Amino acid sequence: MPLAATTPPRMITLVIFTALSTLSLNMFLPSLANMAQDFEAEYALLTLAIAGYLGVTAVLMMILGPLSDRFGRRPVMLVALSMFVVASLVCALAANVWVFLIFRVLQGVVIAGWAIALAVVRDTSEPKEAARRISLITMAMSVAPLLGPMLGGLLDELFGWRANFITYTLFGTFALVLCWIDLGETNKTRSESFRQQFSGYPDLLKSARYWGFTVCMAFSNSGFYIFTAGVPLIAVVMLGLSPALLGVCMGTITIGFSCSAFASSRLAHRVSLTSLILAGRFSSVIGASASLIFFLAGMGNAYTLFGPLMLIGVGNGLTMPNANAGAMSIRPDLAGSAVGLMGALAVGAGGALTALTGVLVTETSGAVPFLTLILVVSIISLIAVLHLKWQERN
């Protein structure tokens, strides 16, 4: 067996950890209808594989961060990946829908890959360098949500839906081996007890700057959740796009995200974190405003919907890596806790606004409520970063 790693991991290892956490959410989605038929269950019941996963993810984010601050990044990641492999294998073999759902939800433990990758970057980098490295990680992993459903659909068509979970098992095993041989411990300031680590949460919650980064991140991320929840109905029912063309058009937001994340990685050493976030927030507000104006003027079409909303992806690519780096820099000794709590709040806000999108966006409501909601969350995140800038000047 290869020797255990004792040095910080390579960037590619951190990218793989974060990409796996993304793939575990969406790769199997094209198979939901076939899974419901195979299990002889209602489609709505199978959607718990998504909702339950997100709920567990939000809770785990608050736990895994402090765990890694207390016991170290390496052991927590090894345990999380081991659990993910076992859960994936049980899902692939499950004959009962409830057994499947229980272990599907347990797959959420792989979110440790995202939280610990960011904490490792903060352990080994100063804030501006951390922002640059996080930008590279997010740029590389942004390909996962674009390719994941395509791969999952192909696996289902060729081998059946269980092939997705066998693939998860293989990917998880590969990541586990990679973790063993490449992820050396980077947390050199571990807390003395788990209780002490949780006691750091009040310190974070009392920090106005931490709340500024967190609110900005949560509502920036929510713009993407709202987009993915509402745009399929609008594009297919109102604009008459085919599902294949819709998939291509939805990819534009990922392209915008990747390009701006790359730009952020190049600018991180020369431009302040909050300035890059501010540029991203203005980008999102401009995009949402432009599309809303087009539809209010009766000029709504695929170009005036997806063209301006590509700026939502651009804004998130500038915001997310820098907001994460900023939040973790407030208390470096609580980096894992900071990113875990921030992620939990972001997922929670995204889930609530996704539900609100389902209420507001219907076949008869048109695109205006959808675009208005995106504009509102973009403005809230803009206000948060303007407050951060005001704090810097004072």
Residue 2 lies in a domain: no
- How many structural domains are present in the chain? 2
Q: In Å, what is the CA distance from 59 to each residue of 4, 76, 109, 232?
A: 30, 16, 10, 29
Same domain, 93 and 130: yes
Same domain, 218 and 277: yes
pLDDT for 330 beyond 90: no
Q: Which residue has the higher pLDDT, 107 or 147?
A: 107
Last residue of a domain, one of 198, 230, 256: 198
Last residue of a domain, one of 165, 198, 231: 198
* The length of the chain, given as a count of residues: 394
pLDDT computed for residue 169 by the predictor: 96
- Condensed to tens digits (0 to 9), the pLDDT of residues 263-300 reads 888 887 788 888 999 999 999 999 999 999 999 999 98
Same domain, 179 and 250: no
Same domain, 146 and 290: no
pLDDT computed for residue 44 by the predictor: 63
- Condensed to tens digits (0 to 9), the pLDDT of residues 36-59 reads 888 888 766 776 777 677 778 878
Same domain, 279 and 171: no
How far is it, in rounded angstroms, from Cα 152 to Cα 349? 27
Same domain, 331 and 228: yes
Residue 5 lies in a domain: no
Which residues have a Cβ under 8 Å from the Cβ of 192 and sit 6 or more positions away? none
Helix (H, G, I), strand (E, B) or coil at 329: helix
Residue 41 lies in a domain: yes
Same domain, 143 and 229: no
- Report the percent of the chain where pLDDT is more than 90: 27
Half-sphere exposure at residue 185, Cβ-oriented, CA atoms within 13 angstroms:
12
- Condensed to tens digits (0 to 9), the pLDDT of residues 340-384 reads 778 778 877 877 787 787 778 777 777 899 899 999 999 999 999
Burial (CB < 10 A; 0-12, 13-18, 19+), residue 364, is exposed
pLDDT computed for residue 43 by the predictor: 63
Residue 257 lies in a domain: yes
pLDDT computed for residue 168 by the predictor: 94
How far is it, in rounded angstroms, from Cα 36 to Cα 43? 5
Same domain, 118 and 255: no
Same domain, 141 and 248: no
Same domain, 29 and 176: yes
pLDDT mean across residues, the chain: 82
Same domain, 247 and 328: yes
- Condensed to tens digits (0 to 9), the pLDDT of residues 159-176 reads 888 999 999 999 999 999
Residue 344 lies in a domain: yes
Helix (H, G, I), strand (E, B) or coil at 210: helix
Instruction: Give the CATH number, domain containing residue 141.
Output: 1.20.1250.20
Residue 3 lies in a domain: no
pLDDT computed for residue 254 by the predictor: 76
Last residue of a domain, one of 198, 225, 241: 198
**What's the predicted TM-score (pTM) here?**
0.72
Same domain, 179 and 222: no
Residue 234 carries which DSSP code?
A: I
How far is it, in rounded angstroms, from Cα 243 to Cα 13? 34
Q: Whole domain around residue 272: which residue ranges?
A: 207-393
How far does CA 68 lie from the centroid of its chain?
19
Strands (E), 123-163: none
Tokens of 113: 């890959």
